[in-house]
Amino acid sequence: MDIFFQSLSYFVNVAVVGLIIVAIVLMLLRLLLNYADLNPFSRPVLLVRSLTDPFVNPVRRSLMGFGFSPNMAPLVTILIVILVGWLALRLSNDVIGTFYGMFLRAREGRFVALIGTLLYGFLSVYSMLILIRIIFSWGMVTSANPVMRFLVNATEPLLGPLRRIIPPLGMFDISAIVAFLLIWLFQSAIAGTLMRF
């Protein structure tokens, strides 16, 4: 069973990195075709545009909203794809690591440690969801986006009450920082008690 979790982790890592590489190649190809003197209605140009427009167009609109040149959209898209890929890797590794830890504790017959591993892993995944929500909000992703809607629904039960208790510092909402500190505190307590049992 150890080989299963290792293989699953390896497969997910290779798949995510592969998708990142494909996206980078497509964006670089788009840049190259933009600067080459090709017919904009030729088949290769139209194919590359149809594959990259769903990613580039929202980035272009956001850049124009911030006052930046829309010509930078493919390069910014590459950076965003790398960031989203890293977040996906972290999230998937947290989930797989939690299930693997639970499997090990169950095999060892350490059921209190199994509960601790489950709680610790849940808190790790939850903190990643908060981080992803923060990054998406910086990119002005609205709650009309289904991923953002899920992130808001999942994290608001913690962030909402914290936001009501802790006043913002000027224009900065520090409720997420307090949430990270609370999650870290609970993870430390779980690691020092349940997971040692």
User: What is the extent of the structural domain holding 148?
Assistant: 110-197
Which of 101, 84, 85 is CA-nearest to residue 14?
A: 85
Position 72 scores a pLDDT of 84
Q: What is the pLDDT of residues 134-155, one digit of tens each?
A: 988 887 778 888 999 999 999 9
Q: Determine, yes or no, domain membership for 15.
A: no
With H, G, I as helix, E, B as strand and everything else as coil, classify residue 61.
helix
Q: Determine, yes or no, domain membership for 93.
A: no
Q: Determine, yes or no, domain membership for 150.
A: yes
What whole-number distance in Å separates Cα of residue 56 and Cα of residue 50? 10
Q: Determine, yes or no, domain membership for 86.
A: no
CB atoms inside a 10 Å sphere around CB 96: 17
Residue corresponding to tokens 């992130």: 151
Q: Determine, yes or no, domain membership for 9.
A: no
Q: Determine, yes or no, domain membership for 132.
A: yes
Position 1 scores a pLDDT of 64
What whole-number distance in Å separates Cα of residue 183 and Cα of residue 144? 28
Q: Determine, yes or no, domain membership for 2.
A: no
- Going by C-beta distance under 8 Å and a sequence separation of 6 or more, which residues neighbour residue 91? 125, 128, 129, 132
Q: What is the pLDDT of residues 172-191, one digit of tens each?
A: 889 999 999 999 999 999 99
pTM, full prediction? 0.83
Total structural domains in the chain? Answer: 1
Q: Determine, yes or no, domain membership for 179.
A: yes
What whole-number distance in Å separates Cα of residue 155 and Cα of residue 148? 10
